[in-house]
Structure 1
Amino acid sequence: MSLKLETERSKTWKDFGDGVPCVLGIDEAGRGPVLGPMVYAAAISPMDQNAELKALGVDDSKALNEAKREEIFEKINNDEEIQQIVAYAIRSLSPELISSSMLKRHKYSLNEVSHDAAIALIRDAFACNVNVVEIKVDTVGPKATYQAKLERLFPGISICVTEKADSLFPIVSAASIAAKVTRDTRLRNWEFKEENIKVPENGFGSGYPGDPNTKKFLQLSVHPIFGFCSLVRASWKTASAIVEKRCVPGYWEDDEEEGKPQNKKMSVWLQPKEGTEVAPKRNVYFKERHMKNVVSF
């Protein structure tokens, strides 16, 4: 996992339903944790298969235990009859992608990241020849604003954005299960790109800031120079607070050359600036040579 983001599809997602009217539902898993990916999922099902979808046992993933979620997800992936009732696609946003997005000079909020993932999944359904006539979405941010945004992008489609959509609509429940099982599996099977990462005996936990195992992992694994490994969302306050306390103070060469006061906190460099947008600082190499950007020829 890295900064690369792709749509992953179940076997029957492409050309699902052979043109019959379908409902599409969207939900996510892993918005709050400081560890691991956030996974967005879209599920699709024929409009006339709602009873069959309910019979599968779908529900808000948080209302189902792990074994039941995995049982349902296994059927969606491997049962040929169920594959004609429901299909799904996911976009898995790595911790690195989340952090790099939120820490850009021009702020790109987690809500915007989430909206873009959902929009990409809807567009992929249309690109894969799915006849989507209704869309149900679990809200992120103000629901009226989000719904108006989707209605502008997808005119002529019946769209409902609301809280607790994963409890209200079976198709969103199916998306919730796909997102949750995918995230849990990838977190459980995480392979570190970095060497010598210290993991507590009981593992790194669920990834939520309040999890004792997660807390212990963050304290053990932080490097005094390089901060955290790629499993950790560096943009989270939980992580940046530890960097500020545990990492070696640093300064930036450009400030020293320009005679500016030294900023001793590395964490400040990681935080996006509120309010006014600041133009990128030109490297001293270009200043000394009086070099300018060419915008026209």
Structure 2
Amino acid sequence: MNIIAGIDEAGRGPLIGDMFMVIVVMEENKLPLLRELGVKDSKKLSKNQRERIFPYILSNSLIVSAARATPQQIDNENLNVIELRMACKLIKTVSRFYTINTIYMDAFSNPNELKNVISRTCNTPEHNLVIKYNADSEFLIVGAASIVAKILRDNYIAILKRIYGEIGSGYPSDYRTIQWVERYLRKYGEIPPIVRKSWRTVRRMLSQL
């Protein structure tokens, strides 16, 4: 039985909320099913399409595991270091249960350097790693991981909206997000705890106080 895994994240760029990273472990012979379901990079799918595919990914996987990083962690540490630690945690977690023949991963920095670092840090042979930019578009198993990560992130944002009201998408390009942060800052005199204070957009707001 050839077992493969895909790793991807959601929420690296937003200024609001946690970042999620997911690993999906599956028998390689399930790939035709993923293709039939229309699995691809989550950014190329609608919310309804992602939600339709999501339960099939879960039911056909051997393991699905997730890790998350809070705004406070992201503010206090290099983002690439955080992602490396999350990836290692996920790889080590699933490797306790299955011997994975190949791990496919969407690169968040130079793929060759990243492969070397992950091999050493996560105690994983380099020949078992396939790390590329845009891997979520090239490899179905990474596309599956990107869908799960996006669903987790979207559900998390929905919870934040129930607590804080309309916060937009959480991205600095979303005027609803910027307006909400600015209103909160004017009202309470501080940046909301769910916001990444190290982001340039937020630092600019603070400098204008």
TM-score of the superposed pair, with normalisation by structure 1: 0.65
Residue in structure 2 matched with residue 244 of structure 1 by the alignment: 207
Residue in structure 2 matched with residue 24 of structure 1 by the alignment: 5
> Aligned partners of 2:55 and 2:69: how far apart in 1?
22
Residue in structure 1 matched with residue 155 of structure 2 by the alignment: 185
SS of match in other structure, 1:189: helix
Asked if the contact 2:23/2:65 (under 8 Å) is kept, the reply is: yes
Query: How many residue pairs get matched?
Result: 207
Structure 1: runs of 5+ lacking an equivalent: 1-19, 78-82, 103-108, 247-297
Aligned partner letter, 1:126 = S
> How far apart are 1:75 and its partner, in Å?
3.0
Residue in structure 2 matched with residue 151 of structure 1 by the alignment: 119
> How far apart are 1:42 and its partner, in Å?
0.7
Residue in structure 1 matched with residue 33 of structure 2 by the alignment: 52
> Aligned partners of 2:127 and 2:154: how far apart in 1?
32
> How far apart are 1:218 and its partner, in Å?
1.3
SS of match in other structure, 1:43: strand
> Aligned partners of 2:168 and 2:154: how far apart in 1?
11
Which protein, 1 or 2, shows the higher relative CO under an 8 Å CA cutoff with sep ≥ 6? 2
Residue in structure 2 matched with residue 280 of structure 1 by the alignment: none
The reply to whether residue 91 of structure 1 matches residue 67 of structure 2 is yes
> How far apart are 1:126 and its partner, in Å?
0.8
Asked if the contact 2:63/2:94 (under 8 Å) is kept, the reply is: no
Listed as ranges, the matches of 1:24-173 within 5 Å are 24-77=5-58, 83-85=59-61, 87-99=63-75, 101-102=76-77, 109-127=78-96, 129-152=97-120, 153-155=123-125, 157-173=127-143
Mean Cα deviation higher: 218-227 or 183-192 = 218-227
SS of match in other structure, 1:190: helix
The reply to whether residue 174 of structure 1 matches residue 139 of structure 2 is no
Q: 1:192 to 1:68 in 2, by over 3 A?
A: closer
Asked if the contact 2:17/2:157 (under 8 Å) is kept, the reply is: yes
Aligned partner letter, 2:9 = E
> Aligned partners of 2:47 and 2:153: how far apart in 1?
12
Residue in structure 2 matched with residue 213 of structure 1 by the alignment: 176
Aligned partner letter, 2:182 = Q
> Aligned partners of 1:34 and 1:227: how far apart in 2?
15
> Aligned partners of 1:157 and 1:171: how far apart in 2?
18
Aligned partner letter, 1:207 = G
Output one character per residue of 1:67-95: Cα deviation in whole Å (capped at 9) or x when no partner: 00011113334xxxxx2445411112122
Q: 1:156 to 1:28 in 2, by over 3 A?
A: closer
Asked if the contact 1:76/1:87 (under 8 Å) is kept, the reply is: no
Aligned partner letter, 1:133 = N
Shift >3 Å, 4+ stretches:
84-87, 223-226
> Aligned partners of 2:61 and 2:16: how far apart in 1?
33
Asked if the contact 2:69/2:82 (under 8 Å) is kept, the reply is: no
SS of match in other structure, 2:182: helix
Asked if the contact 1:115/1:140 (under 8 Å) is kept, the reply is: no
State the Cα RMSD in Å: 2.0
Asked if the contact 1:35/1:95 (under 8 Å) is kept, the reply is: yes
Structure 2: runs of 5+ lacking an equivalent: none
Asked if the contact 2:8/2:21 (under 8 Å) is kept, the reply is: yes
TM-score of the superposed pair, with normalisation by structure 2: 0.91
- Higher-Rg structure is 1
